[in-house]
Amino acid sequence: MIKFAVIGTSGASLSHLRGLQKSNYAECKYIYSRNIDRARKLAKKFNLIPTDDYNIILDDSTVEALTITTEPSRHANLAIKALDFGKHILIEKPIDSDIQRARKLLEAEKSINSSLVVSVISQYRFDPIILKMKKQLEIGAIDSPFLCEVKMIWNKTDEYYSAGNGWRKKYGNVLLNQGIHLIDLVVWFFGYPMEIESQTYKVNQNIDCFDTAIVKLKYSDNMYVDMVFSTAFLYSEPFQFNIYGPKGKLNYRNAIYERFNLSSNIRVIHNVLNKILNRQEPPIFLQIEDFIHSIIHKRPPAVSLSEAYDVLNVVKECEKDFL
């Protein structure tokens, strides 16, 4: 049984705590927060030891792994310190809010014992529909893709941006905080882009960061990705993730694989009910379990630190338009 500590009491910490609670191979021992009252509240709910002293956790040799769920600006520094104590680390996305700190963490990981597992939450990769779309793409079901379109239109209130210590209001822009999940999918599917273009702006004038972004990525062979992100709409809509090729479309919302043959009018559709039938656990629970098994079986995690760094780099390139 691998003993964990959860570092941070943000909203994301609840998913991490529940994921660990459901695992047959892990248990959480500590919950850490700089606000001891917040730590005590979660400790009571999950039967944990609360602490506001990070060193107590690092010095405890029975704790083998940490999940870091603080505000992003603390991710890399907390992780680097944990590496020095030989802890496995799972970081809530993003890897950090600053690309320089993220690079230091990447360098620290390369310099330490290779048996340590370090990963970053990218739970959309564990969605059964996404996995089937990727498989269809890899086997050439739609031939070589020429266009991917992504749309994420959500509603986030002033209360959401002001919650906690208010970091979302200061620098939690729509790409760093929400859109990064879909940017991660694009980079996972197609690799790092050749060119990045973006337009970023804010509709909600009560925040300091941008809440709306239009991003265009260019790949080789005239392959493009068009993405639209916003948290300023009246209500939240389901996100869209569509990939077009000469022989059909991979569509997240309506089907796994759609193929149209105009001469014979053949249409092959994998029913979206597979999404419900095949998903036994929320994707984040599946990633936490993958991380645990990576430790047990001494194998690389599904999401590497270098992949998370590349995704943050795309976000930072887009942020330059706003800055």
Encoded tokens for 20 = 């660990």
**Rounded to whole angstroms, how far apart are CA atoms 121 and 164?**
20
**What is the pLDDT tens value at each position of the chain, 323 positions in all?**
999 999 999 989 999 999 999 999 999 999 999 999 999 999 999 999 999 999 999 999 999 999 999 999 999 999 999 999 999 999 999 999 999 999 999 999 998 867 899 999 999 999 999 999 999 999 999 999 999 999 999 999 999 999 888 899 999 999 999 999 999 999 999 999 999 999 999 999 999 999 999 999 999 989 999 999 999 999 999 999 999 999 999 999 764 444 444 333 333 333 433 443 344 679 999 999 999 999 999 999 999 999 999 999 999 999 998 86
For residue range 202-224, list pLDDT tens digits in order: 999 999 999 999 999 999 989 99
**Residue pair 115/298 in contact by the 8 Å Cβ criterion:** yes
Instruction: Output phi, psi for 193, to 5 deg.
Output: -70, 155
pLDDT at position 112, please?
84
Distances (CA, A) of 307 to 11, 37, 42, 222, 315: 24, 35, 31, 24, 13
| CATH topology match: 2-122+284-301 vs 125-280+310-322 | no
Look up the CATH number of domain 2-122+284-301.
3.40.50.720
Angle at 154 between CA 148 and CA 157, to 5 degrees: 155
Max intra-chain CA distance, the chain: 69
Q: Is 26 exposed, middle or buried (0-12, 13-18, 19+ CB in 10 A)?
A: buried
**Rounded to whole angstroms, how far apart are CA atoms 140 and 248?**
10
Can you count the helices (H) and strands (E) in the chain? 13, 14
Smallest CA-to-CA distance from 66 within 43, 90, 50, 46 is with 90
**Residue pair 196/318 in contact by the 8 Å Cβ criterion:** yes
pLDDT at position 260, please?
40
CB-hemisphere CA count at 13 Å for 15? 21
Q: Helices 305-322 & 99-111, crossing angle to 10 degrees?
A: 170
Fold observed for domain 125-280+310-322: Dihydrodipicolinate Reductase; domain 2 (3.30.360)
Helical (H) or strand (E) element with 50: strand 49-51
Encoded tokens for 185 = 């999918």
**Rounded to whole angstroms, how far apart are CA atoms 16 and 7?**
10
**Rounded to whole angstroms, how far apart are CA atoms 129 and 276?**
9
Encoded tokens for 155 = 């509603």
Distances (CA, A) of 95 to 36, 58, 180, 195, 233: 25, 20, 11, 22, 27
Where exactly are the structural domains of the chain? 2-122+284-301, 125-280+310-322
Helices (H), 60-179: 75-84, 99-111, 128-138, 158-162, 167-171, 174
**Residue pair 125/185 in contact by the 8 Å Cβ criterion:** yes
- Matching residue, tokens 């919950």: 31
pLDDT at position 263, please?
36
For residue range 27-75, list pLDDT tens digits in order: 999 999 999 999 999 999 999 999 999 999 999 999 999 999 999 999 9
Distances (CA, A) of 114 to 65, 117, 118, 174, 187: 15, 8, 10, 34, 25
Distant-in-sequence, close-in-space partners of 1: CB < 8 Å, separation ≥ 6: 25, 26, 27
**Residue pair 30/63 in contact by the 8 Å Cβ criterion:** yes
pTM, two decimals, is 0.90
